Chain A
Amino acid sequence: MNMILFAVIFPFVIGLLVWFVFRSGKSDQGKRFASVCVILAAAVELAAVLVPLIQNLNGATFETVSLAGIGGQGLHFLYTGFRGSFAVLTAFAWFVTFLFSKEYMKNDTHVIRYDLFNLFTLGATMGIFYAADLFTLFFFFEIMSFTSFMWVAHRQTKESAYAAGTYLGIAIAGGMAILMGLFIAYNQLGTLTFGELYNGAAAKIQAGEDLTWLYVAAGCMFVGFGAKASAFPVHVWLPQSYTQAPAPATALLSAILSKTGVFGILLVSLEILPMQSGWGVFILLVGLTTMVLGGIRGVMSNNFKTTLAYSSMSQIGFILVGMAMQILLAQMMTVSTDAELSREVSNVFSMAVNGTYLHMLNHSLVKLVLFMIAGIIFAQVGSYDLNRVRGFGHKKPFLLVTFTLAVAGVGGIPLLNGYVSKTLLHESIVEYTALMDPATAVASPMAFRIVEYLFLFSGGLTVAYMTKLFIVLFVEKNCDEKLQSEYESKKAYASVLSKIAIGLCALPIPFIGLFPGAVADPIARYGFVHSGARELWAVDQEEVFYFSVKNLSGALVSIVVGAIVYILIVRLLMLRKKEEGYRGIFPAWLDMERYVYRAVLYKGATVGLGIISRILDSMVDTIVVILRKTVYSDRPLPYELPEGNYFTHSLGRTIERVRRLYCTIMKKDYEPKNYEHKLAIKSTEFFESGRIIERSLSFGLFMFCLGLGLTMIYLFMVN
C-alpha cells in the first residue's frame, strides 16, 4: 500500500472508528481504552511517514500519487524529503500530544469528540504537506480549518464560543481568499500543479509580461495562508483561540497548524511569484510587523498562555523575515553576472533557506514543550493568570529543566537550537546588506540595517517575555503563602506519560544546538529540495562558524536588549504596585479584533446592506400598493344599497296578490307575508355574494380555466 495515501487516509478512518466504537461509552475504562487507541494510531502514523524519509535520507526523491476524480478535480500528492520531514514533524507532534492528552483530557466529557476531530485534523494536515497542486492544498486546508474549529469551541463556554466565532470567521474568509487567488492563478497560468506553476510564472517573467494579476493572486492567497500562520493583520483570532483551546490542541495549533500557513506562503512565493523582489519586500514588511508586534504584546501580557500565543506570532514573524530574505537573495542570484559574487550570494541564500527551515522546526519543538507545560499548570492551578501561577515551579526539577531548555532555546541562547537558526537568519540579513548593489537593490543598505536592528530587537523581546515567564514560575514566590506551600508540596503534578511527551520534545533542543554542524545542516538540507528539482536552488552551503565571535555577539545583543526590556517594562511597568502583582498593560482600545473587524462587520456592513436590502425587498410591493391607491383603486361601494330592484318588487307584489286571491278563493284567513321585502333582501344578498365571488381569486381561476378549456375545444375543432 502506498505510504503517502495511507498517511492521509488512515487518520480519517481511525477517527471514525474510534468515534463509532466509543462515542456512547461514558465509562472511564472506555475513555482510557480510546486514548490508548489514538496513541497507537499516532504511532502507526509516525512510522508510516518515517519509513519513506529514512529510505531516502538524501531527500532527493520525488514521487507523485493521484486519486483521479475525487473531490471534483482529483487529488494529487507529491513526496519529497522536505515534505516528508514536515510530515514526520506533524506525526510526531500528534503522537506526543496524544500521549499528553491521556492525562490532560482524562476528566473531559467530550474526549471522544475531541479525538475524532483531532485525528481528522491530522489527516488533513498530512494532505496539506503532501499536496502536489494548489487544489489539493486548498481542499485539505479547508477541511483542517473546520475540524480544528472544534478545538477552539471544545470547552463550550461563552468565551470559547466567541473565540471560535472569530477563528471560524477568519478561517472561512481566508479560505475564500485562497480560492479567489487560486482561480486567478489558474486563469493566468493555466495550471494548478506545483512545478508547472513555476514554469508558467517563470516564462511570464522571462517574457516581461505584466505581473499585476499574479501579484493579486499571491496577495489573495497570502491573506488565507497568513491567517493560519497568524501574520499581521489577520492574526486577530490568535490570542483568544489559543487561550480557549485545550492545551494539547493549542500546542498543535502553534507547532503545526501555523506551519501549514507558512508552508502555503512558501509555496506561493516559490511557484507563483518566483524571485520577485517586490513580493520579497512585501513579505519582509509583514514579517517585521508580525515579529515586533507579537513580541511587544507578548511582553505586555499578564497571562501565561497569551504570552506564549504572542510568542508564536512573533516567531512566525522571524520565519517570514527569513522567507523574505530567501526571495530577495534568489532574485539577487538571478540578476548577478559575476561568477564570484554569484557563489557568495548562493552561499548566503542557502543560509537563509536553512535558517528558515530550522527555525520552523525549532519553534515547533519549543512550543510543544511550552504549551504542554502550560497545560500541566492549568490542570493544577486552574488559571493562566501570572499572579496565580506565580511560584508554581518551585521544587519541580523536571519542569525546571524542560522549561529552561525551551525558553532558552527559543530565546536564542548559544548551545541551544534557537541560536543556530537565528544566527543563520541574522547572517543572511547582514550578508545581504553587504553584498547588495545599492544602485539596483530594492532598498538602501540603511533600510536593511534597520531590518537587522529590528531582528535583534525582536530577539531581545523574545528573551524578555521568556525571562518573565521563567521568573514567575521558578524564581518568585506566590503572594499567597498558603498557595505557595501547596504548590511546593505538589509532587504528582504530571503522569509519566505526560513527562515522556514533554521530554521527547525537549530532547532535540540541546542536541541541535550543541552539534549545529552535524545535526542541523543535514536536516536543513531537506530545505533545498522543497521547490522541486530546480538547480538554481540546489546549492551547497559553506560551513558556518556558529560560535565565532561575530555570531556570538549577535546573540549577546539580543540578550542585553532582552534584559533591558524586561527590567523596564516587566519590572517597572507591569509590577509597579507590588501588592497587585502583574498587570496586563496593552491598551484595550487597540484590540483590532473587536474594534476593527467585528465593528466593520456588525455595524458597517449589516447596517449598510440592511438599508439597501429593505428598500429593494419592498420595491415591487410598494409600486403595487401605490398603483392600487391611485390608478387602480377600488370603485367605492355605495353606502346604502337600495333593497331589491324593479324585478323583485314586481315579482313580490305579484306573489302577494296571487296569495291573496288564492286565500279568498279557498276561504282561508289571509295573512300578509311581505314577499316583496323578502325577495328584495334575497336579491341583495345574491348580488353581494356575487360581487364577492367576482372579486375573489377562485373566480379568476375559474374564468381562466373556462377560457383555457374553450381554447382547447376550439383547437380540437379546428384541426
Chain B
Amino acid sequence: MILGLMLTVILLPFVGGILLNLIKFKEKKQKQIYIFSYVVLNTILTYILLAQGPTDTMRIINYAGAKLNFALKVDGMSMVFGGLVATLWPLATLYSFPYMEHENNGPVHENIFYMFYTATYGVTLGIAMSGNMLTMYCFYELLTLVTVPLVMHTLTREAVLASRKYFYYSLGGAAFAFIGMIFLIIYGDSLDFIFGGVLNLSAIGDKKNLLLLVYVFSFMGFGVKAAVCPFNSWLPQAGVAPTPVTALLHAVAVVKSGAFAIMRLTYYSFGADFVRGTWAQYLLLGIVIFTIVYGCSMAVKETHIKRRLAYSTISNLSYILFGVLIMTPLGLVGALTHMIFHGVMKICSFFCAGAMITQAHANYVYELDGMAKKMPKIFAIFTVSAFALMGVPGLCGFVSKWNLASAAFASGNPMAIIGVGGLLISALLTAIYMLTIVIRAYFPGNDFDYATLHEEIQDPDWRMVLPLTLFVIAMVVFGVYSGPLVNFFTSVANGLI
C-alpha cells in the first residue's frame, strides 16, 4: 500500500505529462486546469504519504545481493524535503500559467515544457524518498536529464550553451559522487541510509585518509548541483530558462537536491562522527565559507536581476552546506531550517523578478527606477523577501541564520566561528544587492519623471499574486513563530525520525 503510494507520487507526474501531449485540448484554460489538477492531486497524495510517518525501507529490485538494490523509504529528512517540494510545486505551476502565456512558443513547445516541468516533480520526490545511495544516484542523474530540456526551452543560442554547460557540470559531478558510492559498497555495511553512517570501521583500518578524500570527492560531486565554488558558474547561466524554472528548479528543487544529497552522504552514509574534526571538514568548511562571501560579492556586481538572484542562491546554498559541515545535530537543524526558509524566500524573490520581466520587460536593475509605483504589490512583496533574505528579525531568514550561527559557536570549531564572520559579511552584502533594487524602485529621486514609464505596466493577475502572497505570509509566520517546525527539525537532526 505504502509502496504503491510512493511509486504513484513518483510516476503520476510523468504519466500526466505524457498524456498532456496525447490529449487534444480545445482551449488553453482546459489544459491549464488539467495540468494543475494532476499536480495538486500529486501534492495531496504526497501529503497523505508523508503524514503516515516514517516507513521501513521498501526494496523493489535486488541486484547482486543485498548491497545493490532499489529502495524507497520515508524518514524525517524525506518529510522535510518532500514536504517543501510538494508545497511549492502547485504554487509554482499556478504562477507558470500566466508567465508561459507571455513566452508565446506555440502549444506543442509549451506541452513539452509542462511535461518535463511536472516530470521533475516526480524525480525530485524520488530523490527525497530514496532509501539508499544507489536509488538516490539514479534519481539524481535522472533529474539532470529531465531538467536539461527546461533550461533549453527558449532554444536561443544562449540557452543551448547554458544547458550544455549545466549538463556537463552535472554529469561530471555525478561521476565524482559515483566514486563515493563504490567506496561505500566496499567499506560500508550496506548502501542504505542509516543515521550515523554505514561505514565499517574495522574494514577501513588505516585507510581513513583515503576514505576522507573520497568523502571530499563525493561532497564536491554532489556539490556541483549545490553550486559550490568553483563549480557554480552553471547556475547564473541557467538563468536564461523561463522564470518558473529558475525559481523552482534553480532556487529550490535542483539545487536543494544537491544539498539534500550532501546531507544524506554526510549524516546517513559516511556519518558525521567519521568526518568531524578531520582535515576534510576544515577543507570543505573553507571552501563553503568562501562560496558564501563570493556568491554575495558577485551578486553585488551583477546588474541582471535574475543572475543577481542566482548568485545570491549560490551564497545561500553554501549557508546550508555550512550548517551540514558543522557536523553537529544543531548544525543540521540550522541547515534544514535554512533549506526550507531559503526555499520560500528565494522562490518569492524570483517570482517577483519574473513578474517584473513579464509585466515591465525589465531585465536589468537600472530598468526598475520608479517601478514600485506601477507595480505596488509585486514590489511590496519583493521588499519583504529582500528583508527576509537579509535576516531582519521578525522574518524567517533571521531564524535560520541565527540557528546556523549559534550552532557554529556551540560546536566550538574555530573554522566554524570564522564562518559566522562570513555569514555576517554576507548579510551585509545581501543588504546591498537586495536593497539597491528596492531603493531604486521606491526612491528614483525627486527629479524622476514617472511619465517615462509605460502606461500599461501594472501588477500581474491573481495567479501570480496569490502564490506570492502565500509566500509572504509564510515568511512572516515562520519569522515570528517557528517553534514547532524547529522542534521537528531537531528530532530529525538527532536521528529520532
Contact = CB atoms under 8 A, between A and B. Distances in A.
A616 B445 contact: no
A617 B394 contact: no
Interface string A600-620: 000000100110110011111
Contact of A184 (B61, B392, B409, B480): B409
B25 interface: no
Contacts of A176: 424-425, 427-428
A697 B298 CA distance: 30
Interface string B290-327: 00001001101100000000000000000000000000
B393 A153 contact: no
A179 B390 CA distance: 13
Interface in B473-493: 479-483, 486
Interface in A154-196: 155-158, 161, 164-165, 168-169, 172-173, 176-177, 179-180, 183-184, 186-187
Interface stretch (B105-113, B398-406, B459-467): B398-406
A618 B409 contact: no
B409 A69 contact: no
Contact of B410 (A139, A168, A187, A610): A187
B63 A72 contact: no
B410 A146 contact: no
A70 B480 contact: yes
Contact of A697 (B167, B229, B392, B445): B167
Given A71-B393, A606-B301, A617-B298, A179 B424 contact: yes
Given A613-B298, A697-B164, A172 B393 contact: no
B145 A69 contact: no
B11 to A, nearest CB: 14
A180 B393 contact: no
Interface residues of A, number: 52
B289 interface: no
A715 interface: yes
Given A172-B428, A186-B406, A616-B229, A701 B398 contact: no
Interface string A669-706: 00000000000000000000000000001000100110
B392 A621 contact: no
A431 interface: no
Interface in B230-265: 230-233
B139 interface: no
B435 A701 contact: no
By size class, the interface of chain B is 35 or more
A259 B424 CA distance: 25
A414 to B, nearest CB: 46
Given A72-B482, A186-B406, A715-B63, A155 B424 contact: no
B310 to A, nearest CB: 12
B2 to A, nearest CB: 21
Contact of A624 (B168, B393, B421): B168
B18 interface: no
B387 interface: yes
A646 interface: no
B230 A168 contact: no
B297 A620 contact: no
A716 interface: yes
Contacts of A187: 409-410, 412, 417
B6 to A, nearest CB: 18
B104 interface: no
B399 A72 contact: yes
A179 B398 CA distance: 11
Contacts of A697: 148, 163-164, 167
Interface in A636-695: none
Given A71-B479, A72-B403, A146 B392 contact: yes
A142 interface: yes
Contact of B392 (A142, A164, A704, A718): A142
A620 B145 contact: no
Nearest to B387: A146
B457 interface: no
A616 B231 CA distance: 9
Given A183-B408, A612-B294, 9 more contacts: A70-B481, A71-B479, A146-B392, A164-B439, A173-B428, A176-B428, A616-B230, A617-B232, A719-B61
15 contacts: A68-B483, A72-B398, A140-B393, A143-B394, A161-B439, A164-B443, A180-B424, A183-B405, A187-B410, A606-B297, A609-B294, A610-B297, A616-B230, A705-B145, A718-B63
Interface of B: 61-63, 145, 148, 163-165, 167-169, 229-233, 294, 297-298, 300-301, 387, 390, 392-394, 398-399, 402-403, 405-406, 408-410, 412, 417, 420-421, 424-425, 427-428, 431-432, 435, 439, 443, 445-447, 479-483, 486
The 8 residue pairs across chains A and B that have the minimum distance between CB atoms: A72-B399, A69-B483, A176-B424, A139-B393, A187-B409, A609-B297, A172-B431, A157-B446
